[in-house]
Each structure stands twice: as structure tokens, then as C-alpha cells.
Amino acid sequence: MSSTTRSKSHVSVLTSAINPLANPRGAKKLCELCQNLAYLQCTKCRVTFYCDTEHQQADWVGIHEKICQLLIPIRTAMPFHSLQADRDHHRAQILHRQEELIEISRAVAQKKLFEGKYQESLPAAQLSLRCAMDVYGPSAVQLVPAYLLLAEANVGLGSLSQAEGYLSQAEWTVMKTPECSHTVRHQLHRNLGRLYTATENLEGALLHFANDVASTWHSHLTKLLETHTPGSMTLEHSFDEAQQAEADQMLRAMLKVQESSPKQATAQNTLVAHSLAMLWFLGGSPDKALEFGRKALQSSQLVPDHSLTEPIQGLLQLAAERGPHLTIAS
């Protein structure tokens, strides 16, 4: 393999790791990929270290090839500046390069995911997360895109519990950042949706995400329906066709999972079926709205909390008026 020989040619054994006395400052060098003690050093930048050639190669192919030189100023100790202004300028420069590094590694990870190279996307996604932590702190909302990349890679690799871990961190971060942008929330919900559609047999551990996604969609659609005026097809103002299809696919996947899981509370089924009914009603398909509306009504009557029964009945009536060839009773 050409990449193997190419990448092996610029890695050298790290003498300080083998003999700790050779590193008088005592800073332990850790592997770029696994954070274990490193024994190898990239000879091109001399600021990146690895535990073995396997991790060096994986990192080279995954991201390091593209950022090796960029890391030199970031990871080299700040030169001595006597003037405060010089120190500030140097810090600003480093920050700018770190932001650049976050962007590059994020783009590389995204491209590899797009190509279906899940394993290969991990080094770039991990670097993007670590770098964002350095710049913004360990619980900043800026970490969410990196969490989503890591989650997506793990879904692709079939490591669902890992994916869940990253998504729960993303979820937690978004929840405690009320000012978090709509785009980031949308990305998170898209990703959660993908997790559901990608997962045929959903484990119970993942179900609580479905609850959150379902209630988000439910309240969003309820708001849309409240502002809906008869005679206007309002959905196209808030969704394009692709988004509508995506929402439909995701909600249906959830409904399917819930229906096949006997322990799942029917309150959740009601919420999802009601969301689907609203989605199709607003999308101008009263027939489908009736189909899901009836499902929602059925499960709402099975739970002690009937708060949704009335809105569902109201929707069924509206849908029946739109689709005169069908009746509620059928």
C-alpha cells in the first residue's frame, strides 16, 4: 500500500518516551489517537506523537496529512515576548489557527462520512472535538457539530452505544444553551432522526431520544396548525418538500419502533401519530391526516391523560372536511 510506506517514512522513535530522563521537562507525550503513552513522533511537524505505527498511519490517512504543518505554530510553546501587545497578538494568531483547524478537520470528517468511510472519519472528527474544547471550553455549544460527526461515524460503524453517548452530550449541551441557534438544534434532530432510520432494531437505551424528538416535532407542528388558516397551504412556508419527507420518514420510523415494543407507553404513540397527522394535514393530504389521526385517537383513549384527545378530534374533523370522500367513522 503506497500510503503505508509514505506515512512510515516520516515517523521516528521518540527517545524521551523510552527513556524518561531524556525529557527533562517531564511532559509525557501522548498518542494523538488514543491518548496512551507515545513512543513515536511525526518527523515532519515534531509536535505530534503516537503509541504505535498503526495509530500513526490511521491518523495520517484520516487527517494529519492535511494539517501536519498547521499544528507546528499551534503546538509550539509561545516565544518570549517582552511586550504585552506582542503577547496578545501572538495569542490572537494562535486562536485564529485553532479555529481554522476546527473548520478543516470538521470538513474532512464530513467528506469522509459522506463517502461512507466511517472509520477513516474518526481521527478528523476527534481532532475537531478536542480542538473545539481547547478553544471554547468543555461544555460549549460549539462542540455540538463535532459530537454529531462522531455520532454519525459510530452509527455507520454500528457502534450504537458510542453514538448514543455523543448524542447525549450534544443533547445536554443544546438543552442548557437556550440561545443555541435553530440550525444547531435542527442538525441535532436530523442526526437523531438518522439514528432512528438507520437502526432497525432500536435498543431501549435510545428511546428517550425519540421522546425528545417527538415532543419537539409535536409542539412545532401544533404551533403551525394554530396559525394555519383554512384555504392556505401553510406547510410550504415552513418546510420544503425534502424536509417534509424527512420528518415523515423519521416520525414513521419512531412509530414503527414504538408499536413493535410492547413496553413502550402509548402516550408516546399518540404524540407521534398526532404529529404525523398534523404533518400530512398541513402538507395538503387529508387522507393521510385521517389515517394517522385515527391511530392517534385510538391510542389516546388508552391512556389516563386524555389531553390530546380533543385536539386530535378537532384535526380529524378538519381533515374530513378537506377530504369529503372519507369519513371519521370509517
DSSP H helical segments within the chain, as ranges? 2-8, 15-18, 53-59, 65-75, 84-114, 118-136, 144-157, 160-175, 182-198, 207-226, 235-238, 241-260, 266-282, 286-300, 309-322
Shorter beta-carbon distance to Zn ion: residue 37 or 205: 37
How is residue 198 annotated by DSSP? Answer: H
| Burial zone of 123 (CB within 10 Å; 0-12 exposed, 13-18 middle, 19+ buried) | buried
Least gap, CB of 49 to Zn ion (angstroms):
9
- What kind and span of H or E run contains 24? none
Is 235 near Zn ion (CB under 5 A)? no
Range 31-34, long-range pairs (CB < 8 A, 24+ positions): 31/55, 32/59, 32/64, 32/123, 32/127, 33/58, 33/59, 33/123, 33/126
Of positions 11, 17, 40, 45, contacts Zn ion by CB under 5 A? 45
Which residues inside 69-128 make contact with Zn ion, applying CB under 5 A?
none
Least gap, CB of 252 to Zn ion (angstroms):
42
Shorter beta-carbon distance to Zn ion: residue 11 or 184: 11
Is 66 near Zn ion (CB under 5 A)? no
The whole-angstrom separation of Cα 294 and Cα 288 is: 10
Shorter beta-carbon distance to Zn ion: residue 70 or 267: 70
Is 17 near Zn ion (CB under 5 A)? no
Of positions 7, 16, 41, 48, contacts Zn ion by CB under 5 A? 48
Of positions 68, 122, 184, 308, contacts Zn ion by CB under 5 A? 68
Only one of the segments 43-51, 123-131, 171-179, 296-304 lies at the binding site for Zn ion (rule: CB under 5 A); that segment is 43-51
Rg (CA), the chain: 26
Of positions 11, 14, 17, 31, contacts Zn ion by CB under 5 A? 31
Only one of the segments 15-23, 25-33, 213-221, 295-303 lies at the binding site for Zn ion (rule: CB under 5 A); that segment is 25-33
Least gap, CB of 6 to Zn ion (angstroms):
13
Only one of the segments 60-68, 108-116, 193-201, 245-253 lies at the binding site for Zn ion (rule: CB under 5 A); that segment is 60-68
The whole-angstrom separation of Cα 216 and Cα 219 is: 5
- Name beta bridge partners: 26: none
At 176, give phi and psi (nearest 5°): -90, 15
Least gap, CB of 51 to Zn ion (angstroms):
3
Shorter beta-carbon distance to Zn ion: residue 34 or 303: 34
- Name beta bridge partners: 200: none
At 41, give phi and psi (nearest 5°): -135, 140
DSSP string, 129-180: HHHHHHHH-TT-GGGHHHHHHHHHHHHHHT-HHHHHHHHHHHHHHHHT-TT-
Shorter beta-carbon distance to Zn ion: residue 37 or 107: 37
Of positions 11, 41, 55, 316, contacts Zn ion by CB under 5 A? 55
Least gap, CB of 142 to Zn ion (angstroms):
25
Only one of the segments 54-62, 205-213, 214-222, 316-324 lies at the binding site for Zn ion (rule: CB under 5 A); that segment is 54-62
Is 268 near Zn ion (CB under 5 A)? no
How is residue 30 annotated by DSSP? Answer: B
Count of residues that bind Zn ion according to CB under 5 A: 10
Least gap, CB of 279 to Zn ion (angstroms):
47
Residues that bind Zn ion (CB under 5 A): 31, 33-34, 42, 44-45, 48, 51, 55, 68
